[in-house]
Amino acid sequence: MQKTGKGPAKNVDQYLEELPAEVKNTLVKIRKAIRLAVPEAEEVVSYHMPIYKYHGHLVGFAAFKNHCSFFPMSHAVMKTFKEELKDYDTSGATIRFPFGKPLPAKLIKKIIKVRIIENEEIAYQREQKKKSKK
């Protein structure tokens, strides 16, 4: 959705700053919910969108021409929250929602809690694998 000609955003503040007001306001709410749920996550721009890292990619979000998306980055999470996501347009590990109607902060927090557990388990398994090779 960048139209400034400045090239890809280097950080999340720059990413948000370049968006139209309604879109920016929507994604600022998503960002706030993520940061409250997992303040220790590293905030980066990757794949031309804001990504939050905690033992790997945790969640992300992005603005598109006609909607915003939240990316739990987990098909298992999408299945876990299938009922709570029934009113949203979803596919794969993507949740789409209209400008001005961000996902509820409570739902984002619940998704992130599950993603943290997933990523911690993956990190633990990687560490165990490394130890067994020594």
- Residue percentage of the chain with pLDDT more than 90: 88
Distance CA 8, CA 11 (A): 9
Digit-coded pLDDT (tens) for 34-53: 999 999 999 999 999 999 99
Range of the domain at 60: 12-133
Asked whether residue 128 is assigned to any structural domain, the reply reads: yes
Number of domains in the chain: 1
The CATH number covering residue 97 comes to 3.90.1150.200
| pLDDT band, very low/low/confident/very high, at 32 (cuts 50, 70, 90) | very high
Asked whether residue 2 is assigned to any structural domain, the reply reads: no
Digit-coded pLDDT (tens) for 60-111: 999 999 999 999 999 999 999 999 999 999 999 999 999 999 999 999 999 9
Asked whether residue 1 is assigned to any structural domain, the reply reads: no
Is a pLDDT exceeding 50 seen at residue 10? yes
Q: Tell me which amino acid residue 39 is.
A: P
Interacting residues of 41 by C-beta distance below 8 A, sequence separation 6+: 34, 35, 52, 53, 54, 58
Asked whether residue 5 is assigned to any structural domain, the reply reads: no
